[in-house]
Structure 1
Amino acid sequence: MKAIAVLPGRADSARLTEIAKPSVTDIPAGRGVLVRVLRVGLDGTDKEINAAEYGTAPPGEDMLITGHESLGIVAETGPAVTELAPGDYVVARVRRAGTSLYDLIDTPDMTTDDDYFEHGISRVHGFLTEYYVEEPRYLIRVPRQLAHVAVLLEPTSVAEKGILQAYDIQRRLKVWQPRRAAVLGAGTIGLLATMILRNRGLAVTTFGLDEPPYLNSDLVEALGASYVSTKQHSLHEAADGGYDLVFEATGYAPIVFDAMHSLLAKNGVLILSSVTGGTRRVEVPADAINLDFVLGNKVMFGTVNANREHFEAGVRDLALTEAQYPGWLSRLLTHPVHGLDHYPEALGALGTPGAIKVYLEIAAA
C-alpha cells in the first residue's frame, strides 16, 4: 500500500513509497484495530520535518511515515476488542507511551522521557498511508455526524489541553471566574481556542497579524468574538484592563513577553502553545515583568500535545459548535488535496494566503 515517508535529517526527502499493509494480528492478545485512513491534516510540523529540522525514524528503520492529524474508519477489529466496531469513525492520539511515570498512567503527553514517541514525528510512523493498526486505547471514537469535520480534532485537542490545564491551575484561587480571554494568533489553533473559550461563555478578543476583513477575522466574529490586527493596534493599546486568560498560538516567541507585560490581568494565566525552533533574541523589561507576576499572582505555563481527556473534550466542543454555528467548522477546511500522490501540492499549500487547514483526502468512507 501507499505511504508518504521522509528520511529524517535529509531535507526535502518526502516521497511516495510502498509498504506492507498492516494486520490486526500486529497487536498482541487480539487487541488490534485496523483503520482505513480517510483524511490527514497537515501543519507546520510536517513542513519542518520535511525540511529536516527534526523528526526521528522508528528504531531500526531509516524512514518515517509522516502525518499526525488523522481521521479514519475502523475496517477490522481483533477478537478481544469490545470498545470499537467496524464502521466506527476514529481519530488516533498522537503520543504513544514511553517509560516515565506519566506514560504509565496513560498521559504520555506529560512524559519526562528524553526520547518520546509521537506518530509521524518521533519514533512512530504516522498516518499518511492507506491503513494503520492501533490499540483501542489510542483511538477516539467520533460521532458519524461529525465525520466531515473530524480531521480538526487533533489540533482541537491541543487547544483543549491548554485551556483545561489553565482551569486546573487556577483552582488555586478557589473562586476563579474568568470573564475575558485573549487569543494570540488567528491560525488553526488560535481559531479553535477562540471557539472553545466562546463555548465556555468568555468574552474573547483574538489577535492576528493581518488587517480585517478576511476569512480568519470573519470566522472570529462569527463566534461573537472580537478580532484585532496587531498591524493596527499594539497589545498594550488593546489590553483595556487586562485579560483573565491569554492563549498564545502565534509561533512568534517575542510576542510572549509583550503578553506577559501588557495583556495579563491580576490572577491571570498565560498559556504558551507555540513550538518555536528559531534563534530570536529580544530585550525585555525584566524587572517590570517580574514585579507584575509577583504582585499580581500571575501564572505562565507551556503545553504540548494532548491525551484522551483532551480529545474527548474536543469531540464535545466540535459537536457544540456544529449545533450552535452550523457550517463554521467546515469553513476552516480551506485546502483539500485529493490522493497521496499529490502530497507535494498539499505541502506547498501550507502557509499560503487563505490557507487555514490543508488536508489530504485519502479515501472515501
Structure 2
Amino acid sequence: MKAVAVTPGQPNSVHLEDIPMPSLDDVPGGTGVLVRVLKVGVDATDREINDALYGNAPEGFDYLVLGHESFGVVEAVGENVVNFKPGDYVTATVRRPGGSIYDQIGNYDMTSEETYYERGINLRHGYLTEYFVDDQEYIVRVPQGLKHLHVLMEPMSCAAKAVHQAFEAQRRMKVWRPKLAYVLGSGQIGLLTTLILRLRGLQVYTVARAPGPHLKSEISEGFEANYVSTKETSLDDLVAKTGRPDIVVDATGHSGLAFEAMQHVGHNGVVVWTSITGGDRQIEFPSDKVNIEWVLGNKLVLGSVNANSEHFEMGIRDLALGEMMFPGVLEKILTSPVDGLDGYNEMMRLLVEDDQALKVFVNVADE
C-alpha cells in the first residue's frame, strides 16, 4: 500500500513509499485494531521533519512515514478488543511508551527518557498511509456527530492537555479561580486553546500579529473571545487595558514572545509554553526584574507537549461542547484539503508557501 514518507536527515525528501499492509497479527494478545485511514492532518512538524530538522526512522528502516494527526474508520478488531467494532470512527494517540515509570503507567507523553517514540515523528511510522494497526490502548473513538471535524482531534488533545496541566499545577494555590487569559498565537493550537478557555468561563484575548478582520480573527471572535493584533496594540498596552492575566498560553513558535509572556502574567499566575522553537535566536531579557516578580508573585512557567488518551478524550468532549455553544465555528479551521496521498507535493507547498492555510489535511480515502 502507499504511504507518504521522508528519508530522515535528507532535506526535502518527501516521497511515496510502498509499504506492507498491516495485520491484526502485528499486535500480540488479540488487542489490535485495524483502521482504514480517511484523513490525516499535517502541520509545521511535518514541514520541519521534511526540512531534516529532526525525526528518525524506526529501527530497520531508512524511511519514516509521516503523519501524526489521524482520522479513520475501524475495519477489523482482534479477538480481545472490547471497546471498538468495525465501522467506528477513531483517531489515535501519537506517543508510544518507553521504559520510564511515567511511560509504564500510561503517561507516555510525560516520559523522563531522552529517547521518545512518536508515530510519524520519531522512531515510529505515522498515519499518512492507507491503513494502520495499533493496540486498542492507543485508539480513541470519535463520535459520529464530530466526524466533520476529523483531524482536529490530535491538535485539540494538545490544547486540552496544556490547559489541564495548568489547572493541575495550580492546585498548589488551594483556591485558583482564573478570570483573564491571553493566548499568544492564532494558529490551530492557539484557536483551540482559546475555545477551551472560553468553555471554562475565562475572558480570553487571542493575540497575534496580523490586524483583522480575517479568518483567524473571525474564528476567535466566533468563540466570543477578543482578537488583538500586536501591530495595533502592544502587550504592554493590552495589560494596561485589561490588567495582568491569570494565565498566558504561548502558541506562537517564537521563543522571544514565549519569554516576553513571563513579563506580563499576574500574581499567582501561570505561563504555558506549547510551541517548540528551533534555531539560535537570542534576545535581551530583563532577568533581574522578572526574577524578583516571579519569586514574590508565586508565578509558574510550564511546558506541555503531546497528549495521552485521557487528553484526547478531554479534547473530544470540549469539541462537542464547542459545537453546541458556538455552532459552525470550529469547522472554519479546516481550510486546506489535499486530494489523495499522491498530492504530497501540494501538501508540502501549502505548508511552506500558503500563509492562509490554517489547517492542511489529506483526504486519503472516501468513507
- Does TM-score exceed 0.5, indicating one fold? yes
The answer for the alignment partner of 2:291 in structure 1 is: 290
Q: Secondary structure at the match of 1:148?
A: helix
Tell me which amino acid in the other structure corresponds to 1:252: H
Q: Which one-letter code corresponds to 2:305 in the other structure? A: V
Taking only the aligned residue pairs, the percentage that are identical comes to 51
SS in 1 for 2:148: coil
Aligned pairs (5 A) from 1:203-282:
203-239=203-239, 240-261=242-263, 263-282=264-283
State the match for 1:79 in structure 2: 79
TM-score under structure 2 length normalisation: 0.98
Q: CA deviation at 1:132?
A: 0.3
Match status 1:322 vs 2:317: no
**8 A contact 2:269–2:298 mirrored in 1:** yes
The alignment's TM-score, normalised by the length of structure 1, stands at: 0.98
In 2, the alpha carbon distance for the partners of 1:21 and 1:257 equals 46
1:286-365 aligned within 5 A? 286-350=287-351, 352-365=354-367
Q: CA deviation at 1:16?
A: 0.8
Counterpart amino acid of residue 102 in structure 2: Y
Unpaired stretches in structure 2, ≥5 consecutive residues:
none
Partner of 1:36, secondary structure, is strand
In 1, distance between residues paired with 2:128 and 2:157? Answer: 20
Q: Unmatched 5+ residue regions in structure 1?
A: none
Deviation at 1:343, TM superposition (A): 1.1
1:100 to partner: Cα distance: 0.6
Query: Which amino acid in 1 is paired with 2:147?
Result: A
User: Secondary structure, in 3 states, of the residue corresponding to 1:276?
Assistant: coil
Name the SS for the 2:280 alignment partner: coil
Aligned length: 364
Q: Which residue in the other structure is 2:175 paired with?
A: 175
Structure 2 letter corresponding to 1:311 = F
User: Are the equivalent residues in 1 in contact too, given 2:109–2:306 (CA < 8 A)?
Assistant: yes
Q: Match of 1:209, as an amino acid?
A: R
Cα distance between partner residues in 2 of 1:347 and 1:328: 26
CA contact (8 A) 2:39 2:150 kept: no
Mapped pair 1:5 → 2:23? no
1:343 and 1:146 map into 2 onto residues whose CA distance is: 26
Equivalent residue number for residue 132 of structure 2: 132
Counterpart of 1:17 in structure 2 is 17
1:196 corresponding residue in structure 2? 196
Q: Which residue of 1 aligns with 2:66?
A: 66
Give 1:182 deviation, angstroms.
0.5
Q: Structure 1 residue 257: deviation in Å?
A: 2.2
The aligned amino acid for 1:171 is R
Equivalent in the alignment of 1:166: 166
Is residue 54 of structure 2 the alignment partner of residue 54 of structure 1?
A: yes
Letter in 2 for 1:135: D
Q: Distance in 2 between matches of 1:270 and 1:4?
A: 36
How far does the alpha carbon of each residue in 1:321-351 deviate from its partner, in whole angstroms, 9 at most, with x for none? 1112111111000001110000110111125
Please show how residues 148-163 of structure 1 align to structure 2 within 5 Å.
Answer: 148-163=148-163
Report what 1:123 is aligned to. 123
Q: Is the 8 A contact 2:219 2:330 kept in 1?
A: no
Supply the distance in 2 between the matched residues of 1:140 and 1:21 (Cα, whole angstroms): 22
Equivalent-residue separation in structure 2 for 1:125 and 1:194 (angstroms):
31
Deviations 1:80-119 (A, max 9, x none): 1111100011110000011011000011110011111100
Runs of 4+ in 1 over 4 A off after TM superposition: none
